[in-house]
Amino acid sequence: MKAPLSWLKDYVDIDVTAEELQKKLFGCGFEVEELIQVGKDISGVVVGEVTECLPVEGTHLHVCKVDCGKHGVLQICCGADNVKTGIKAPVALIGATVYATAKDHVTVEGVMTIKKGKLRGIESYGMLCSGVELGVSGDMFEGADYNGLLLLPSTTKNGEDVKPILGLDDYIFDISITANRPDCQSILGIAREVAAVLGKPIKLPDCTYASVHSDDGVKVTDLAPDLCPRYIAHYVKDISIAPSPMWMKRRLALCGLRSINNVVDITNFVLLEMGQPMHAFDLDTLSGREIVIRRAKDGEQITTLDDKTFDLTHENLVICDGDKPAALAGIMGGLNSEIEAHTKELLFEAAKFARDSVRKTARALGQHSDSSAAFEKGVNEYTTSLAMDRALHLIEELGCGTVTDVHCDVKTEYSHDGAKKMSVSISKINELLGITVPTQTMCDILKRLDFGVDANGDTLTLDVPAYREDIDGYPDIAEEIIRMYGYEHIHGTFMPTAAVTNGGFNDEQKAENDLKRALVEQAMYEISTYSFYSEKDLDMLKIPADAPERRFIKIKNPIGEDLSVMRTTLAPSMLHTIVRNLRRGNMEGRLFEIAKVYLPRQLPLADFPDEKKRLCIGLFGTCDFYDLKGVTEAIADRLRTTFEYVPSSRSFLHPGVCADIVCGGKVIGYAGRLDPAISNKLALERKVFVAELDYDALMSCAHPFKYKPLPKFAEVTRDLALVADMDVTCGQIEKAISGACKYVTDVKLFDIYVGAQVGANKKSMAFTVTFTPGDEPITPEKCDSYIKKILSNLSHNLNVTLR
C-alpha cells in the first residue's frame, strides 16, 4: 500500500519527520517496507528568472542572464526553444544533481552533477531544467511534460528551492498491510492509524453534496445476494468529461496511476483514498436504465475495458443491464458501457462483492485489477456507502456533472453495516497480556482508535468502528491496546502458573537420532531433498508400469512437471544428488537420507495416504558393493540384529550386483550397484551404489539391549578350509555352519581362492568358526565332533567339502 506523506497530511496534522513516522507505524503493526523519497536524486535546483536572453549566432542556443536571488545572477547557456526574457524556470546550480537525458531530452539515462561548462566558447554557470530532468511529469506539475524548460509561476521567489514547489519534497510510505486490516488498504485507513499513533484528531474528507431532483429513475435488482451483499448506485447527469485538476492528477501520479479524465480519475481516487472500488457506467448504454446483478449464464460472454473477451460460467458474477453483461463484477467494466468523451449521463456503482467470488473469477479468467485486489482483501459496507458520497462530492467539486437524487441502495440479508457494541473485561485483557495496563490508558488508546468507550468497573463497553470488521473478541481489544501502548512493556516471565511437564524426544524419535548417529559414524553425510519429483524420474530408473512405485499421488497445481509427483521411493532423489555432485567435480561421497514416501491407499486419493519413512543410502566414487554393505552391516550392528543378503534384482540395478536385504525372514530393502546402462546414459564417470530400506520394518528388527553374562569357559575357534562349487554363496555356507551346531556363535570368512589348485568351477573358502561353550567347557574331542557334524551338513546340503 503506497501512501504519500502529502496526502496523509490532508487528514492528520503530522508534526514528525517521515523517518519518525515510519518508526511509529512499525511499532503499531504497519511495517513500512520502503520509505520512498520523491525527488531524492534532485538537489541544488532553485527558481531562476531569465532577465536577459541573447541568441548565439549559428546555433539554437541562447546565452541568458538568470536572476537566482541569493545565488546571484548567473550566465547560463540554454538550448530550449521556450527560453525567453521574463520567464521563471528551475536552475540547477553548479554542484546540483539532476537526471541526465538522452539526445531526445526525454529518456532518463542516470543522474548527473552540474559543473561549470563552456558551450561554443561561452561559459555557463548552471543549467535551466526541463520537467524530465527533475523527474517531474505533467501529472505532477502543470506543463512539466513539455520538451523544453519547465515554466514556474511568476509568484515563485527567485533563488527559492524548487523541490517544495514541484512536490519533490514528498515521501511515499510503501506499507505492508496484514490480512486482518483491509480497512488500511487506503490512504484514509493509514491516516486513521497515523492519527491514533500521534494522538491527533482525524479530519475526514468532505463527503457532502447537493442533489437535484430527477424523474428518470434507475432500477437495481440483486439476484445473487450471497455474492453481492450490498449494491449502491447513483445517477449523475450533465456530465462533461474533462481533464482532472492538477491536485488530483498529482495524487494519482504519486500512487503510480496515470490520469485519464475527471470521471475515471474520481473512481481511481476514491479507491486509493477509501479502499472502495468504484465503477462508472455510461448510463445511455445501459438498456432499460437497469442494473441486474446475477451469476453469468454458462457460455455468456463479456468484453472488458481492456478489449479482452471472456467466456463465462455460472461461477462468475456479472453486472448486467436490461439484457446483457455490462461489467465483470468487482473486476472490470465492460467495453460496451465505457465512459467516453461524449458520455452525458453516468451511473456510479459502489458495492460489496464476496471476497471468494471475486477471487475465484479473477483467478479463473486470469483477469486481475486494483479493484479485484481490493475486493479479495475485503471491503466493509460502511466505507462502500461513504465512498459513494465522496465520489459524488468530487463530481460536484470538480464540476463534472450534476448529482441527481436518484440513489439506489440495495441491502440484502447478507448485508451488515459493521458497527457493533461489545463488552470486554479489563482484567481478562490484562491477564492475557500478563501486565496491568492502567484503565485510563486503555480508554485513551481505544478512543484514539475511534472506539466509543465507556468504562464501568471491570467492564469496558465499546462501540466498535464500523470499518473494523476484524474486531471480534477481547483478545482483539488486547492487541489494539498493546500495539499502541507498546510491546516494550511486555517483560519476560516464565510460565509461573503452568504445570510442570516432561519434555524431549519420545523413544521412536530417539531411535531415529541414534540411527542417524550410527550413519554419521560411518562417514556418511546426511542430505535433504524435495518430497516431490517427476514421473520421468521413474522412467529413468526403468520402473515397470505395474510397479507399486507407479502408484503415486499427483499435485494438482505443481510449480512444474519436475516437482509434480509425491515420491514413492527415495532412490531418484538420491541419484539426482549424486549426479549433481559428479557434475560439480565432487568425485567421492557417502550420502544418506531419512524421509517419507507417500503411498496412497486408493487412487484417486480419497483419504489420508500412508506416509512411510525410508532410509536411502548412496555411495559414489571408488567404492564397491562391500562398502555399501559395510554401511548396512553397521546399521544391523547398531540395531543388535543381523541381515541376510539374497541375490535379487531391481529394474535400475546391476543384475549381478543386487541383493534383497532380509531380516527376520522379511525383505526390508535392497542394496546394489546402479545399472551401468543408466550410468552410461547419465554419463557418470564413477560407480554408484544405492540401498533403500523401509524405515519401520528396519526399526522393528532392532533387538533391545540386554546384558549377557560372560561365558564361564573360554571360547574355542577352529579354522576350516572348504571347497565349494562356484555358485555356492558365502551366506549359504555361513548359514549351514551355524545351523549345524548350536554352540557356533560366529562364522567369519578370512580367505577366498579360485584357481588351478581347487579345480574348475570350484572355489576355496576359509572360515574361522567360533564356538561358545554353554554349561560345560568344549573339549578338543567335543569340538572335533561338532566339526564333523558341520562338515557332514555342508557336504550333504551344499556339496561343500574339506579342502
Strands 290-295 and 219-222: parallel
The 3-state DSSP class for residue 611 equals strand
What is d(CA 674, CA 658) in angstroms, rounded to the nearest whole number? 9
- Answer yes or no whether residue 602 interacts with other proteins by CB under 8 A: no
What stretch of H or E contains 118?
A: strand 117-119
Footprint on residues 509-568 left by other proteins (CB under 8 A) = 509, 513, 516-517, 519-532, 553-559, 563, 566
Positions 388 through 427 that interact with other proteins (CB under 8 A): none
Report the C-alpha dihedral over residues 542, 543, 546, 550, rounded to 10 degrees.
Answer: -130
Rounded-to-integer distance, Cα 36 and Cα 5, Å:
10
Region 605-644 residues binding other proteins, contact defined as CB under 8 A: 605-606, 608-609, 611
On whether the CB atoms of residues 543 and 651 are closer than 8 A, the answer is yes
Q: How far is the CB of 190 from other proteins (least distance, A)?
A: 15
Upper half-sphere CA count for residue 515 (Cβ side, 13 Å): 27
Q: Which of 19, 26, 157, 677 binds other proteins (CB under 8 A)?
A: 26
**Footprint of other proteins on residues 139-168 (CB under 8 A)?**
none
CA distance 603 to 606: 7
| 597 sits in which H/E element | strand 589-599
Minimum CB distance to other proteins smaller for 509 or for 801: 509
- Give the separation between CA 675 and CA 664, rounded to whole angstroms: 28
Stretch that binds other proteins, among 7-15, 41-49, 54-62, 478-486 (CB under 8 A): 478-486
Least separation in angstroms between residue 507's CB and other proteins is: 11
Contact 161, 154 (CB under 8 A): no
Cβ atoms of 271 and 371 within 8 Å: the answer is yes
Verify cis geometry, omega within 30 degrees of 0, for the bond prior to 438: no
Q: Which is nearer to other proteins, 359 or 407 (CB)?
A: 359
Min CB(417)–other proteins separation in Å: 19
Task: Specify the residue, 25 or 50, whose C-beta has the smaller distance to other proteins.
Answer: 25
β-pair partners for 99: 111
Q: Which stretch binds other proteins (CB under 8 A): 175-183, 457-465, 541-549, 763-771?
A: 175-183
Taking CB under 8 A as the criterion, the residue among 102, 341, 500, 760 binding other proteins is: 500
Q: Closer CB to other proteins, residue 148 or residue 630?
A: 630
CA 573/CA 578 separation, integer angstroms:
9
Q: Applying CB under 8 A, which part among 85-93, 216-224, 487-495, 779-787 lies near other proteins?
A: 487-495
4, 29, 135, 167: residue in contact with other proteins (rule CB under 8 A)? 29
Q: Does 277 bind other proteins (CB under 8 A)?
A: no
Regarding 491 and contact with other proteins (CB under 8 A), the answer is yes
Binding flag, residue 581, other proteins (CB under 8 A) = yes
Interface mask (CB under 8 A) for other proteins, residues 650-689, using x and -?
----------------------------------------
Q: Is 50 exposed, middle or buried (0-12, 13-18, 19+ CB in 10 A)?
A: buried
Decide whether 434 or 548 has the Cβ nearer to other proteins: 434
Stretch that binds other proteins, among 256-264, 304-312, 384-392, 495-503 (CB under 8 A): 495-503
In which region does residue 643 sit, left (phi positive, over 0), alpha (psi from -120 to 50) or beta (all else)? beta
Q: Which of 237, 355, 762, 782 binds other proteins (CB under 8 A)?
A: 355
Angle formed at CA 35 by CA 34 and CA 41, multiple of 5 degrees: 110
Coil, helix or strand at residue 7: helix
Out of 102, 341, 499, 760, name the contact with other proteins by CB under 8 A. 499
* Contact range with other proteins by CB under 8 A, out of 43-51, 162-170, 215-223, 598-606: 598-606
Cell numbers 469496558: residue: 460
- Residue from the set 257, 354, 449, 540 that interacts with other proteins by CB under 8 A: 354
Among 147, 180, 214, 649, binds other proteins (CB under 8 A): 180
- 236 forms part of the interface with other proteins (CB under 8 A): no
What gap in Å lies between CA 239 and CA 396, rounded to an integer? 11
Residue 338 contacts other proteins per CB under 8 A = no
Residue type, 285: T
Size of the site for other proteins (CB under 8 A): 93
d(CA 421, CA 460): 10
Pick out residues in 432-451 that bind other proteins (CB under 8 A).
432-435
The least distance separating other proteins from the CB of residue 555, rounded to whole angstroms, comes to: 5
Task: Report d(CA 221, CA 408) in Å as an integer.
Answer: 10
Site membership for other proteins, residue 504 (CB under 8 A): yes
- What number of other Cβ atoms are within 10 A of residue 340's Cβ? 11
